[in-house]
Amino acid sequence: MSRLYMARNPRVAARSLDGEMMIMSGRDSTLFTLNKTATILWQSADGTTPLDEIVEHRICVEFEVEPAEALQDAETLARELASHEILQISEQPILLRNPGIGESRAEGSTTVESTTGESRARESRAGESR
Amino acid sequence: MSTLLQEMSEKALKLNIPLSVQLDLTYRCNERCVHCYLDHDDHGEMTTAEIKHLLDEMADAGVFILTLSGGEIFLRKDFFDLLEHARRLMFCVKLKTNAVLIREREAARLRDLGVESIQISIYSHRPEVHDAITLIPGSLKRSLDAIRFLKSQGLKVIIANVLMTQNRHDYPGVRALAAELGVECTLDPTITPMMDGNRSVLELAVDQGTLRQVFRDAALVGDVDEFCAIPAKPDESELDSTPCSAGHTACYVSPYGEVFPCVQFPLPTGNVRQTRFVDIWRHSDQMNEVRSIRLKDLTTCTSCTHVGTCTRCPGLAFMEGNMRGPSTQDCEKSFAKTGVPSANMLAKKAAAGNRENTNLGHVNLVQIRALPSLASATA
């Protein structure tokens, strides 16, 4: 079975607000907030730690869930976040040339279609305020 | 504002987090706009290292939306270095610029750095009007070329159209130009007094007739009847709300490290060269005073018909002498929308009437003035 690697998309903006991660898409300024699981995925998405290790060491410890079930859910969630261009995902480690800004290159990374599963990220078009 | 952003703002308000900061990198500028509130000298701008340290502090404090403005930001030779640092800290970066110095290479770099949006000042679709406001011949062409470069990189561009006497007829042309370029367009009739207190630039503000015309333009305001309706009396909860985000979830930092509640609210609250940003934000007496004000605390405005819907700017009120007082420019906007004078306008009229009545004993009841001479009448 192939492993899945994730890296944060360097084109997004992000900040934690009292433990809740706010993400603004670099594609279309859509604002997302991530739930606890999605926040763990985001924070752990270093491009080199495979998803199954993140699930085993971070998610299962945090939520006391079965590893196989947790991995399936986490993979669905990772693909959904990738569909919104919040994460980059790949079956190969993702190399970040210049982490934090938009010049990263992910070897073999891909953006996938949104899954039909329950949405874990709430989204909204960001507006102007004066 | 989007629902989710509104939710995040409410959360930031409860947690006392400065969600949004405008940082002016310089007051130097390559244009000389006739209505500008800044001087254009360098009185000791923060160094590259100081600004990077400030950005680190702001990220730690929870700032998410960072607006880089000026002056003209591209006059800072370290601009891209600072922007790169800001993006490494994952700020949502918005830029305000006249774009005169943006060519293909700069546009591509902005795209690579993941800038959220670039707001560009365009005063008219006609070069003779725009350039007469910036006082730089050829500036409209340079700014429009830049917009095309930025659009070709897929960047979000917003045209900011400040309305004043010189360009009062041109906003439909600017909107048409924006539509042709495929960019957003905002219109703002507010003229801000100069930072040294000089209010002479306010003479450039548009008159009631123009405001009324703008507020009845469905293309701008949507449902005119709804927009111009006389507001309902606010309930207790509305009167207990805060006037605006200044000092609550937003603030402003000058090129010299001074922190203010807003770019339009020149109440000094501290300097990041002496005090950590977060300590100024949380503990400054001035910031806490601004934060304590509720609509029900306002002098004059609390009894005003418009109190629940007025765009009253506390910074403009402060510049008129009282941060809890009315802002005359906003009174005029409310009047132009509804035809109902504000409490401030009525109070001023009554005061003027009282002055006249007080003087009755000292002047002739029937005042006869000489007709102007033919020469002066036709001059």
Q: Which chain B residues are Cβ-neighbours of A21 within 8 angstroms?
A: none
pLDDT value of position A51 = 96
Q: Which residue in B has a C-alpha nearest to residue A129's C-alpha?
A: B1
B347-365 pLDDT tens trace = 988 888 877 665 544 443 4
pLDDT value of position B221 = 93
- Distance between A122 CA and the closest CA of chain B, angstroms: 8
pLDDT value of position B359 = 53
- Which of the four pLDDT bands, split at 50, 70 and 90, describes residue B206? very high
B103-120 pLDDT tens trace = 999 999 999 999 999 999
Helix, strand or coil, per DSSP, at residue A42: helix
Q: Which chain B residues are Cβ-neighbours of A122 within 8 angstroms?
A: 4
Q: Which chain A residues are Cβ-neighbours of B62 within 8 angstroms?
A: 15-17
Torsion of CA B341, B346, B348, B353, to 10 degrees: 130
C-alpha span between B129 and B292 (Å, rounded): 43
pTM reported for the whole predicted model: 0.87
- A100 and B116 within 8 Å at the Cβ level: the answer is no
pLDDT value of position A1 = 62
- Inform me whether the C-beta atom of residue B156 falls under 8 Å from chain A C-beta atoms: yes
- B116 and A15 within 8 Å at the Cβ level: the answer is no
Token readout for A33 is 């907030």
Q: A28-37, B20-29, B69-78, B282-291 — which is least confidently predicted?
A: A28-37
pLDDT value of position B299 = 86
- Distance between A63 CA and the closest CA of chain B, angstroms: 25
Helix, strand or coil, per DSSP, at residue A41: helix
Strand B117-121 to B157-162 pairing? parallel
- Distance between B92 CA and the closest CA of chain A, angstroms: 5
Position B180 pLDDT exceeds 90? yes
- In Å, what is the CA distance from B63 to each residue of B19, B20, B74, B116, B251? 5, 6, 23, 15, 10
State mean pLDDT over B64-77.
97
pLDDT value of position B373 = 41
State mean pLDDT over B12-20.
96
Q: A55-59, A93-97, B81-85, B291-295 — which is least confidently predicted?
A: A93-97
pLDDT along chain A (130 residues), means of 10: 89 92 88 90 94 94 89 93 93 73 41 30 41
- B90 and A124 within 8 Å at the Cβ level: the answer is no
C-alpha span between B187 and B194 (Å, rounded): 20
pLDDT value of position B239 = 87
Any alpha helices (H) in chain B, and if so which ranges? 3-15, 48-61, 79-88, 104-112, 127-134, 139-152, 171-181, 208-215, 218-221, 224-227, 236-239, 277-283, 285-292, 314-320, 328-338, 343-358, 374-378
C-alpha span between A16 and A38 (Å, rounded): 12
- Distance between A2 CA and the closest CA of chain B, angstroms: 31
Q: Tell me the count of A-B CB pairs closer than 8 A.
A: 89
Residue B209 neighbours by CB distance under 10 Å: 10
Residue listed under structure tokens 């060269």: B273
Q: Output DSSP code: residue A117.
A: S
C-alpha span between B24 and B369 (Å, rounded): 53
- B245 and A129 within 8 Å at the Cβ level: the answer is yes
